[in-house]
Amino acid sequence: MIISALLCLLVFPLISHAKIDYISLHEIESSARQPLSVKLNIVEVHQKSQLMFTLVNQNAETALEYQRINSHMLRLKSPHYIIGKASILVYVLNKNAWRKTHSVDISNTLTITEVDKKSLINAAKTTAKCLIIHEPKETLWNIASRYKDKWNVDVFSAMLAIYQSNLSEFTNQHIGQLMINAELLCPTRKIIALMGEEPEMKAEFFRLKSPHYRVAKASGLPPKPQGSTRRKTHSDDSSNSLASAEKNKKEFKKVAKETAKCLISHEPKETLWSIGSRYKDKWNVDIFSAMLAIYKTNQSKFTHQHIGQLTINAELLCPTRKAIALMGDKALMKAEFIRLKSAPST
């Protein structure tokens, strides 16, 4: 028993890890509608844990900067101010993985106004920093596999979207060399919309993954494979296959455009609102954006092209990714929908 106890004492410090025992809101320092600054009380089992904080407000999660004031207090800052329901999510690095451990409520009683909406839109365009949450050594494939459904794309499109949005986080800007602890920004809707069909994206991914691929320098010339004098290997055969796939890339795109016909499934007399409500989550947009995307893609299916007069048994085509990406803030889309709905039919 004594030996076992001694072994426990010796082993425990080796396997212990950072842990937050207690965390709470101490004070919101910033005034209403001013960039957020808060103090948090914190008690850690081990000091100076590796922490990460994000702000959740208005259906968006953005990164927070933090500094230690003392051993039991932190200050967190954001370029944004909060409106209504809001919370701070706390992540701790545990065994090389970010684990969400706490949520601190910082909600207020403010009601969003038109001025707030414009301010939030401008802030999102200029200062918002949407980060992809991932483990320090997690592979690009694993990260993309978790986000592809959220972005409504295939895994190759997800990997390419992440890569194109974070070139500096890849060693030598090579898609196969994601840096450890890389800070990855979320791809914009526009970048996601530019992704093509899965066969094209798969071919492009393997072209970039090729060991002969190098990123073009400041000359602006397109990337070219580096020469090699070594004997031909299986990897060379693979490169030839990749070159063949690249050669057929335009054909894939042409066939996809000519033959693909994505239709929206709906009941004969179902309303546009009802259809939009079913598809908005799949397209990762609000209800008004979903309705406008359907309308703009199928104007001939609306009597007098009026958004309030969807014809019975209409064959509705799915909006393209580009059409969905062009949708804006919910408040703006709601205003546009109401404007179209109130317009007299001709």
Q: For the chain, what is the mean pLDDT?
A: 77
Stronger pLDDT, 96 or 188, i.e. the higher one: 188
Q: Which of 40-54, 134-148, 170-184 has the lowest mean pLDDT?
A: 40-54
Beta-carbon contacts of 230 under 8 Å, excluding residues fewer than 6 positions away, are: none
Q: Give residue 49's pLDDT.
A: 67
Options 1.10.260.40, 1.10.3720.10, 3.30.450.90, 2.60.40.1930; which CATH number does 15-113 get? 2.60.40.1930
Q: Model confidence over 224-233: pLDDT tens digits? A: 444 433 434 4
Q: Which of 37-46, 97-106, 251-260 has the lowest mean pLDDT?
A: 251-260
Residue type, 114: E
Q: Give residue 258's pLDDT.
A: 38
Stronger pLDDT, 226 or 80, i.e. the higher one: 80
Phi, psi at 56, each rounded to 5°: -110, 115
Task: List the chain domain ranges.
Answer: 15-113, 140-213+235-259, 272-342
226-247 burial, b for 16+ CB within 10 Å, e for fewer? Answer: eeeeeeeeeeeeebeebeebee
Q: Model confidence over 278-312: pLDDT tens digits? A: 998 888 889 999 999 999 999 999 998 899 999 99
Q: Which of 135-139, 196-200, 234-238, 284-288 has the lowest mean pLDDT?
A: 234-238
CA-closest candidate to residue 179, choices 143, 150, 224, 223: 143
Stronger pLDDT, 43 or 229, i.e. the higher one: 43
Between helix 198-209 and helix 249-259 the angle, nearest 10°, is: 160
Per-residue pLDDT band at 104 (split at 50, 70, 90): very high
Does position 343 have pLDDT exceeding 50, yes or no? yes
